[in-house]
Amino acid sequence: MPKKVDHEARRREIAEAVLRLAAADGLESVSLRQVAAEAGISMGAVQHYFRTKDDMLGFALEHLARRREDRITARLSAGGAVPTVRELVRVSALEVLPTDEPSRADYLAGIAFFIRALREPRTAGLLTEGAPKLYDFFAGQLLRAQAAGELAEGADPYREVVLLWSMVDGQSSALLLGECSAEDAVATIEYHLDRLFLPVEAPVTMG
């Protein structure tokens, strides 16, 4: 009997190969042949799943976002309780910081796509399409926290989201260049969140 191929799994394998190459050497020199070799399949198989290099890169970029989201979800659900808005924002921001090998590889791959986007309109469109959705989601979360009285007085949810992700990008660049340690980068994000969110009072117990 011929072996049944999981086509979606094969597409993800190809995307993983693209992301490894992007993190190591950028995207400008990545070819279908290199991707096939990295994935351990034939170039014809790569072309079977992706008609063009742009199609392949677009899928890889989507896979990068899903991979990061999966790690964030796993961290948030590890405790078993429903996360607070502060914890959701905190975990999401810290997961993007390149503090370990998975997050470092993801961030470097993201930089490779950013560099390509400067000269390639399709990639630029994919990147710019995602930013408003990201900001809107987190601004909505901060609005929810604000309605519950959990944000500092006068905080503008949308501007706070812009500031937070600008800070994450800045700290990530500093980490990659060795300008700060992972501990310092995390402490900076925590410092910002401590100023943004009001402290939660511990429940009063009778005894």
Q: Are 56 and 17 in contact (CB under 8 A)?
A: no
203 lies in a domain?
A: no
What is the count of structural domains for the chain? 1
30 lies in a domain?
A: yes
Confidence of residue 201 (pLDDT cuts 50, 70, 90): low
183 lies in a domain?
A: yes
20 lies in a domain?
A: yes
Confidence of residue 6 (pLDDT cuts 50, 70, 90): confident
pLDDT tens per residue across span 11-34: 999 999 999 999 999 998 788 899
170 lies in a domain?
A: yes
115 lies in a domain?
A: yes
1 lies in a domain?
A: no
- pTM metric for this prediction: 0.85
The domain of 109 spans: 7-196
Please identify which residue in the block is written with the tokens 């959705």.
133
Residue 69 belongs to domain with CATH number: 1.10.357.10
The overall average pLDDT reported for the chain is: 90
Confidence of residue 207 (pLDDT cuts 50, 70, 90): very low
Residue 202: pLDDT over 50? no
Q: Are 133 and 62 in contact (CB under 8 A)?
A: no
Q: Going by C-beta distance under 8 Å and a sequence separation of 6 or more, which residues neighbour residue 196?
A: 151, 152, 155, 160, 164
206 lies in a domain?
A: no
At residue 126, the pLDDT reads 87
Percent of the chain with pLDDT over 70: 94
End-to-end CA distance of the chain: 70
User: Average of pLDDT values for 40-59?
Assistant: 92
pLDDT tens per residue across span 65-92: 999 999 999 999 987 788 999 999 999 9
pLDDT tens per residue across span 133-176: 999 999 999 999 999 999 999 999 999 999 999 999 999 999 99
Residue 9: pLDDT over 60? yes
